[in-house]
Each structure stands twice: as C-alpha cells, then as structure tokens.
C-alpha cells in the first residue's frame, strides 16, 4: 500500500512538471510574439530566425510609439494605410510562404504615450519548428516619415483569444501548486516510513 501511495505521488509530480513545461513553452513570449524587427525603410530588408512551440495564425503588426515632439501629431483614424511589403517565411520540410501586404489597418492605441498598432495580413505557420522571416519594403513609406524619431517596430503576433493566454498563465500557477503538493506528499511518506522502522525494532527487542 505504501509503495502504491509513493508511485501515486511520483505520478502527480511528473504530471505537474509536464504541465509546467507545457504552460511555459506554449505561453512564453517567444511562442506568442516570436518576431520583433525594425520597420524597414524603402528598398531595405530585415530578417529574423525564430522557433515556435505550436503552429497557428499570426498577425504582422506595426507598432509606432509617439512621444516628445510627435505628441501633437495624430495618425489617420480611418484605415487602410497603403504599403508594399514582401514577406517571405520559410521553415522545415521545404516550407515557404510569400505574401505581399498592401495595406495596414489601425487596430488600436495603448498607453499614455500613444502607442499605435497597425495590423496587416495574417501569416499561417502550420506547425511547431524553426522558421525564418524576411521582410522587404518595396515601396516608399511616406505615411510614416513623420514618426521616424519615435521609431517603428514590426512584430509577428499570434492571433488567439486573450482567454487562451490567461489559461496558460493559470495552468502555470496550478503546475507549481501540483508540484509543491507532490513534494510535500513525498516528504510526508518518507517521514512516516522512517517513523515506522524504529517502532518495529523496538517491538523485536
């Protein structure tokens, strides 16, 4: 019976570690926003290699912080913003996907410093693995020229509901609780085992 209890506690410990690894890899920033690159100027190329733990749909997003002298400037409220970006994504097993993004839509504004988010086309990455993305700006980005001092960032962000991200965070916390309980259980069982042995020896005497 004691061995069964010990194996049960060990099984719970392994389960907790597996859940912790799953929540850590699936919920990590590398899996949700694997690419952060400067927005390329006209005729320029930016590229990055990355790894994701699960496939899915990803939004190509331009992030523009406006601060200092640019606070008085406002971007157009109505989309779209015309562009001509050639985005090539390559991966394992000869995977290759090339898209031309001709417009970005204003999707939101966050923070007191006015950080604007523009979303372009979605990119589908079929499965877990290593990828490389190459972005070529084949057009003049005059619409952004007033914001060059603030800098521009282009990101690849996973397109999933916010609830999914929160679930990974909750699973992360629960995993630590499961591991802690299983460790306490193992300590308790070993303590009881050590307590029984002296009693047996005393009975033999």
Task: Name 127's Cβ contacts closer than 8 Å, sequence gap at least 6.
Answer: 54, 55
Range of the domain at 185: 2-22+167-197
Q: Would residue 143 count as lying in a domain?
A: yes
On whether both 7 and 60 belong to a single domain, the answer is no
Check which CATH number belongs to the domain holding 51 and give it: 2.60.120.1300
pLDDT at 148 over 50: no
- Do 17 and 64 belong together in one domain? no
Three-state DSSP class for residue 146: helix
Look up the pTM and report it: 0.65
Give the tens place of pLDDT for each residue, 59-75: 998 887 765 554 445 55
- Do residues 174 and 12 touch, judged by C-beta distance below 8 A? no
Strand ranges of the sheet holding 35-38, from the earlier edge strand across to the other edge: 35-38, 153-158, 56-65, 115-125, 96-110, 81-91, 129-137, 45-52
| Whole-number pLDDT of residue 29 | 74
């Amino acid at each position: 019976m004691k061995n069964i209890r010990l194996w049960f506690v060990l099984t719970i410990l392994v389960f907790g570690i597996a859940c912790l690894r799953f929540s850590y890899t699936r919920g990590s920033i590398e899996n949700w926003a694997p690419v952060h690159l400067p927005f390329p100027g006209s005729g320029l190329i930016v590229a990055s290699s990355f790894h994701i733990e699960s496939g899915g749909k990803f939004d190509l997003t331009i992030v523009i912080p406006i601060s200092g002298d640019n606070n008085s400037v406002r971007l157009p409220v109505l989309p779209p913003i015309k562009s001509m970006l050639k985005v090539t994504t390559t991966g394992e097993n000869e995977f290759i996907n090339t898209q031309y993004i001709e417009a970005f839509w204003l999707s939101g504004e966050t923070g007191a410093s006015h950080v604007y988010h523009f979303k372009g086309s979605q990119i589908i990455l079929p499965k877990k693995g290593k990828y490389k993305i190459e972005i070529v700006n084949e057009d003049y980005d005059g619409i952004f020229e007033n914001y060059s001092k603030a800098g521009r960032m282009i990101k690849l962000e996973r397109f999933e509901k916010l609830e999914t991200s929160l679930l990974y965070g909750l699973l992360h916390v629960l995993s630590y609780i499961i591991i802690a309980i299983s460790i306490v259980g193992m300590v308790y069982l070993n303590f009881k085992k050590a307590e029984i042995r002296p009693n047996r020896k005393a009975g033999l005497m």
